[in-house]
Structure 1
Amino acid sequence: MIFKVYFQESIRQVPVRENTKSVFVEGESERDVRKKLANYDYNVEFVQAVKGAFLEYEQQNEDFKVLEI
């Protein structure tokens, strides 16, 4: 399953909507995705499963890529 992860680039950074970035990660569950990102210095705000029409919409974006961890 593919998950969309919203995060700040630094664990020390306070979440601000304008600075929030996102990345797509493949994993078994939200917990699995958070484990995979534990080695990164990300302040993870939200992890959302992406499937169906939502996934198709995201795949149309030219910047769509799934992070290989």
Structure 2
Amino acid sequence: MIYKVYFQESVLEVPVREKTQTLYVQGDSERDIRLKLKDRNYNIEFVQLVDNSYLQYEEKSENYKVLEL
């Protein structure tokens, strides 16, 4: 399954919408995704499952690139 992760670059940063970044990660569950990204210094705001028509929409985005960790 593919998940969209909303995050800040540093755990010390306060979440601000304008600075929020996203990435796509393949994994089994939200917990799996958080464990895979644990070693990175990200302040993860939200992890969202991307499937069906939402996935088709996201695949059209120029920023769509799935990380396989």
TM-score bracket, shorter-length normalisation:
over 0.9
In structure 2, the partner of 1:21 is: 21
| Alpha-carbon shift at residue 62 of structure 1 (Å) | 2.0
| Alpha-carbon shift at residue 53 of structure 1 (Å) | 0.4
Gaps of 5+ in 2: none
Q: How many residues align?
A: 69
* Identity fraction in percent: 57
1:23-56 alpha-carbon deviations (Å, 9 max, x no partner): 0000000000000000000000000000000000
In structure 2, the partner of 1:36 is: 36
In structure 2, the partner of 1:67 is: 67
In structure 2, the partner of 1:52 is: 52
Gaps of 5+ in 1: none
SS in 2 for 1:4: strand
In structure 1, the partner of 2:4 is: 4
| Alpha-carbon shift at residue 67 of structure 1 (Å) | 1.1
4+ residue runs of structure 1 moved beyond 6 angstroms? none
SS in 2 for 1:14: coil
Once the two structures are overlaid, the 10-residue window that deviates more, 58-67 or 7-16, is: 58-67
TM-score between the two structures when normalised by the length of structure 2: 0.97
